[in-house]
C-alpha cells in the first residue's frame, strides 16, 4: 500500500478554484506522473499554501494520501521556483500553458515520466529567463523532444508518397491535408497548404536532439524555416495526442 505521507518534487500543471476557498491542483512528478491534489483554504489571505497553487510553479510537495478516498491533499511545499514571467509576457504565459497541456493530454507520457519531467522542468526554467527572439527555438526543441519521448518518429529521409530517398540538398514539403512529407516531384500534386522544409530544417531535427537543451538553443534557423517547422511539429503533436490543443486554439498568434 502506498505510504500516506509522501514527498514529491512537482510542477503545477493546472490550478482551479474548488469550493469557495480551496483549489484543486494537477501536479506532475517524475516518479508518480500526474497527481491530483487538493489544497485547502488557499483563498484565505494568511494561507501558507497559496504560493504553491500558482500554475507552472515547481517545488517539493508534502502530500497526504487519503487511502479511503484515494485522494491527495497538499500539506506543505518547500523550495518554490515560481514562474513570474507569465505575468509580464503573454507569449511566455501561453507557451508555458502549451507545455503543460501537452503533458496533461498525453496523461503524463505513459511510463516516461522522468524524461518528460526533466524536459518540462528545464524548459520552464529556461523560458522564465530567456529573451523573446529565442523563444521559438525552445518551442521547437520542446515539441520535438516531447514527440521523441512519446515514441513518435518523423521520417525525414524518404518521400511519403513515392518512397524515394531524399538527397541531403533537397527540400521536403509538408502537406497538412495529406499529413505527409513529400519530395519536390510529388508535392506538385498537392499545391495547397504546403510547408517547405529545406535541408537546414532536416539537419536541425537530425542533430539538435542529441545536444543538451541549452546547447540546442544556440542553433538558429532562417525565420520562415523555423516558423514552418513549428507548424509541422504542431500538426504532429495534435496527431499524436489525437485532438486539438486548447492553448493553440485560443492563442496561436502568441505562440
Ligand atoms: Zn515523392
Domain residues of the chain, as ranges?
5-81, 90-154+191-254
Q: What CATH architecture does domain 90-154+191-254 belong to?
A: Up-down Bundle (1.20)
Calculate how far, in angstroms, residue 228's C-alpha sits from the geometric centre of ligand 1: 20
**Cell numbers at 105, concatenated:** 493530454
Calculate how far, in angstroms, residue 27's C-alpha sits from the geometric centre of ligand 1: 45
Calculate how far, in angstroms, residue 173's C-alpha sits from the geometric centre of ligand 1: 10
Average pLDDT value over all residues in the chain: 92
Q: pLDDT-derived band of residue 96, with 50, 70 and 90 as boundaries?
A: very high
Calculate how far, in angstroms, residue 235's C-alpha sits from the geometric centre of ligand 1: 20
Calculate how far, in angstroms, residue 32's C-alpha sits from the geometric centre of ligand 1: 44
pLDDT at 176: 80
Calculate how far, in angstroms, residue 187's C-alpha sits from the geometric centre of ligand 1: 7
Is 90-154+191-254 the same fold as 5-81? Answer: no
Calculate how far, in angstroms, residue 144's C-alpha sits from the geometric centre of ligand 1: 24
Calculate how far, in angstroms, residue 23's C-alpha sits from the geometric centre of ligand 1: 53
pTM, 2 dp: 0.93
pLDDT at 142: 98
149-207 pLDDT tens trace: 999 988 889 999 999 999 989 999 998 878 889 999 998 887 777 889 999 999 999 99
CATH number of the structural domain 5-81? 2.40.50.140
Amino acid at each position: 500500500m502506498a505510504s500516506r505521507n509522501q514527498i514529491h518534487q512537482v510542477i503545477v500543471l493546472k490550478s482551479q478554484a474548488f469550493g469557495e476557498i480551496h483549489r484543486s491542483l494537477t501536479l506532475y512528478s517524475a516518479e508518480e506522473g500526474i497527481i491530483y491534489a487538493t489544497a485547502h483554504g488557499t483563498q484565505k489571505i494568511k494561507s501558507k499554501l497559496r504560493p504553491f497553487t500558482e500554475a507552472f510553479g515547481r517545488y517539493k510537495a508534502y502530500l497526504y494520501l487519503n487511502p479511503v478516498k484515494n485522494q491527495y491533499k497538499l500539506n506543505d511545499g518547500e523550495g518554490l521556483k515560481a514562474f513570474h514571467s507569465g505575468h509580464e509576457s503573454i507569449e511566455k504565459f501561453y507557451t508555458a500553458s502549451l507545455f503543460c497541456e501537452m503533458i496533461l493530454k498525453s496523461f503524463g507520457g505513459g511510463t516516461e515520466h522522468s524524461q518528460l519531467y526533466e524536459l518540462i522542468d528545464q524548459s520552464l526554467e529556461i523560458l522564465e529567463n530567456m529573451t523573446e527572439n529565442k523563444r521559438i527555438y525552445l518551442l521547437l526543441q520542446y515539441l520535438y523532444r516531447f514527440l521523441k519521448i512519446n515514441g513518435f518518429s518523423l521520417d525525414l529521409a524518404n518521400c511519403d508518397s513515392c518512397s524515394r530517398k531524399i538527397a541531403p540538398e533537397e527540400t521536403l514539403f509538408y502537406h497538412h491535408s495529406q499529413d505527409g512529407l513529400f519530395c519536390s516531384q510529388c508535392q506538385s500534386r498537392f499545391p495547397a497548404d504546403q510547408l517547405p522544409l529545406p535541408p537546414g530544417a532536416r539537419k536541425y531535427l537530425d542533430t539538435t536532439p542529441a545536444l543538451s537543451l541549452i546547447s540546442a538553443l544556440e542553433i538558429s534557423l532562417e525565420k520562415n524555416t523555423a516558423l514552418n517547422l513549428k507548424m509541422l511539429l504542431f500538426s504532429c503533436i495534435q496527431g499524436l495526442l489525437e485532438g486539438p490543443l486548447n492553448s493553440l486554439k485560443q492563442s496561436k498568434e502568441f505562440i
